[in-house]
Amino acid sequence: TGPLMKGRRGLIMGVANDHSIAWGIARALAAHGAELAFTYQGESFGRRVKPLAASAGSKLLLPCDVTDPASLDAAFETLEKEWGVLDFVVHAIAHSDKNELKGRYVDTTRENFLRTMDISCFSFTDVARRAAKLMTRGGSMVTLTYGGSTRVMPNYNVMGVAKAALEASVRYLAVDLGRHGIRVNAISAGPMRTLAGSAVGDARFVFKWNKTHAPIKESIELDHVGGAGLYLLSDLSARVSGEVHHVDGGYNIIGLPRAEELKA
């Protein structure tokens, strides 16, 4: 017994600021005794991540842009040198051109389609391959997705297509890495007020609609996603792999809201 994550070492990718989902998961893990390394994208995010990493007791803060394989190699080389063994990874990274997170999906450009897929989908596989080499005593990986993968959400567009591919890649990775004792899962979070979340057109309407029409009519906060992250990255979820776990107040189960809700 003792703290759930004591003696466990993991990499957190995707903290931009203290509203980031990756930060919500990181602080839950740190509170349970995990030792963390953080990556950041570019120096201006780096300045924000530095005090957060320090407050989580982290000594490893590494620059990494997932579109640059050399920066990924460098980050994992440092992890190998400093730690040798890795137990878990959080991938909370996505990007699409803001101009295409509004309007019609059919108007998506080739350039933004490929870039969105590269950063929001392929990067997880690219990270998983590198991380798996260091997970010599088994491990757990988590990525972040959204219900726009399986159902059409306004303005989510090409990001929904990328999330569908990301969720499929979770299942393929779960099989490839399962034989090494590595579990791979996704958390499908409801709408949250982060930098990335606010880039989607009509974001305020989407937050409000989810809150009004989900079974649990409360906003989704960092601690809620943090709890799910702690579960999926710890032994509490041993034998859970290839799942897409919803933390959305139950919104995904709804077919139609009750008539009273629309009148309210």
What's the min distance (Å) between Cβ of 189 and ligand NAD?
4
The helix/strand count (H/E) of the chain reads as: 10, 7
| Closer Cβ to ligand NAD, 138 or 219, answer by number | 219
What's the min distance (Å) between Cβ of 136 and ligand NAD?
26
**96 contacts 162 by C-beta, under 8 angstroms:** yes
Residue number closest to ligand NAD, CB atom: 197
The residues near 168 (Cβ < 8 Å, ≥ 6 apart) are none
Pairing of strands 60-63, 182-189: unpaired
What's the min distance (Å) between Cβ of 222 and ligand NAD?
9
What's the min distance (Å) between Cβ of 33 and ligand NAD?
23
- Which of 146, 172, 231, 251 does the annotation list as catalytic? 146
| Closer Cβ to ligand NAD, 138 or 227, answer by number | 227
Q: Which helix (H) or strand (E) holds 206?
A: helix 203-213
Instruction: Establish whether 156 is a catalytic residue.
Output: yes
Tell me the C-alpha to C-alpha distance, in Å, between residue 228 and each of 43, 84, 104, 185: 30, 27, 33, 11
| Closer Cβ to ligand NAD, 116 or 137, answer by number | 116
Intra-chain end-to-end CA distance of the chain, in Å: 48
**Can you tell me the distance from the alpha carbon of 74 to that of 65, in angstroms, rounded to the nearest whole number?**
11
Tokens 């393929």 belong to which residue?
172
**Can you tell me the distance from the alpha carbon of 26 to that of 7, in angstroms, rounded to the nearest whole number?**
15
Picking from 125, 191, 115, the residue whose alpha carbon sits closest to that of residue 155 is 191
| Closer Cβ to ligand NAD, 7 or 215, answer by number | 215
| Closer Cβ to ligand NAD, 6 or 108, answer by number | 108
The residues near 160 (Cβ < 8 Å, ≥ 6 apart) are 105, 146, 148, 149, 152, 153
Q: Show the beta-strand stretches assigned E in 120-164.
A: 139-145
- Which of 156, 172, 231, 251 does the annotation list as catalytic? 156
| Closer Cβ to ligand NAD, 192 or 230, answer by number | 192
Instruction: Establish whether 146 is a catalytic residue.
Output: yes
What's the min distance (Å) between Cβ of 80 and ligand NAD?
20
What's the min distance (Å) between Cβ of 260 and ligand NAD?
27
Contact residues for ligand NAD (CB under 6 A)? Answer: 14-16, 20-22, 41, 45, 64-67, 92-95, 119, 144-146, 189, 191-192, 194-197
**Annotated catalytic sites, by residue?**
146, 156
